[in-house]
Amino acid sequence: MSSNKEIGIQCRFLGILLDRVKYNEKYGNYYRDNFCEKSLEHFFSYKLLDLNKEDIFVDIASEQSLLGEILHRLTGCTSYSQDIMLEPGVHGNMIGSDASDIPVAEGFFNAAAATCSLEHFENDSDIKFMHEMERVLVRGGKVIIIPLYLYIREACQTDPNYSVPGNVNFDKDADIYCARDWGNRHARFYSPRSLYERLIKPNKNMDFRVYLIENSVDIDNSIYCRFILVGTKKE
């Protein structure tokens, strides 16, 4: 997305999507202090997953996310929300489970998204999660990780107010950055090597692509998403 022409096309497409979703009408104050970032995540999920009404989608670690509802409205897909805090099991379109052990059959989903969540997966839970994606996706199915946090070295950010009493175990080779009053116990930044070793190399039946967003400031300088990971299960 580096040429002026392509930037213009993408910005117009984003504007059309915002009009179709009708955030102000339907979702009131949803992430009003972080609206540009969240709506951009929705935009890229919509565009890169390319869903249709025959597809089954799952929003991973969804918490209060509206992504599943939005993609259902825009594409007609069947949409599920998964989160460890939900009632265990499958209840309507809600799935209560660990993200690495989703109680559905192999090849159940056409697509999945983890927005602002994978970085919080501690220990080896990110590795187990990607193994699970390889299992639950159909051939040709996609999982999108947005934002993907990349850095020159392996690193973790933490609020010591939470990680110290919680006895959080950090990756042994990671640099640790403390952000007091940040409010989260763990956020992993992959190096290119650790991304390959943890998520890409072990999953031989998936192809991966990393996207770099070069022009986020053309939309708003509050946007912090710089990288996106898309994994596609091989045909």
Flag whether pLDDT at 120 surpasses 50.
yes
The CA-CA-CA angle for residues 67, 208, 213, to 5°, reads 60
What is the pLDDT, as a whole number, of residue 168? 94
Neighbours of 60 (CB within 10 A): 27
pLDDT per residue as tens digits for the range 85-96: 999 999 999 999
pLDDT above 70 coverage of the chain, percent: 92
Kindly report the number of other CB atoms within 10 A of residue 54's CB atom: 10
Of 172 and 17, the structure prediction assigns the larger pLDDT to 172
Number of Cβ atoms within 10 Å of the Cβ of 228: 19
Report if residue 179 sits inside a domain: no
- Mean pLDDT value of segment 167-173: 93
The pLDDT, as a whole number, for residue 117 is 94
Mean pLDDT of 139-162: 96
Q: What is the pLDDT of residues 25-48, one digit of tens each?
A: 777 677 777 788 888 899 899 999
Examine the pLDDT at 4 and tell me if it is beyond 50: no
pLDDT bracket for residue 195 (50, 70, 90): very high
Determine, yes or no, domain membership for 48: yes
Q: In the prediction, which pLDDT does 145 show?
A: 98
User: Which residues constitute the domain of residue 89?
Assistant: 4-150+190-233
pTM listed for this prediction: 0.90
What is the arithmetic mean of pLDDT over 81-87? 96
Question: Is residue 8 over pLDDT 70?
Answer: no
Average pLDDT of the chain is: 90
pLDDT at 27: 76
Q: Does residue 184 form part of some domain?
A: no
Q: Does a structural domain hold residue 171?
A: no
pLDDT at 23: 75
**pLDDT digits over 152-164, tens only?**
999 999 999 999 9
The answer to the question of residue 66 being in a domain is yes
| CATH (domain of 132) | 3.40.50.150
pLDDT exceeds 60 at position 66: yes
Does a structural domain hold residue 59? Answer: yes
Domain contains 155: no
Asked if residue 180 lies in contact with residue 200, where contact means CB atoms within 8 angstroms, the answer is: no
For residue 66, the cross-strand partners are none
What percent of the chain clears pLDDT 90, i.e. is strictly above it? 75
Residue 218 lies in a domain: yes
Q: Tell me how many domains the chain contains.
A: 1
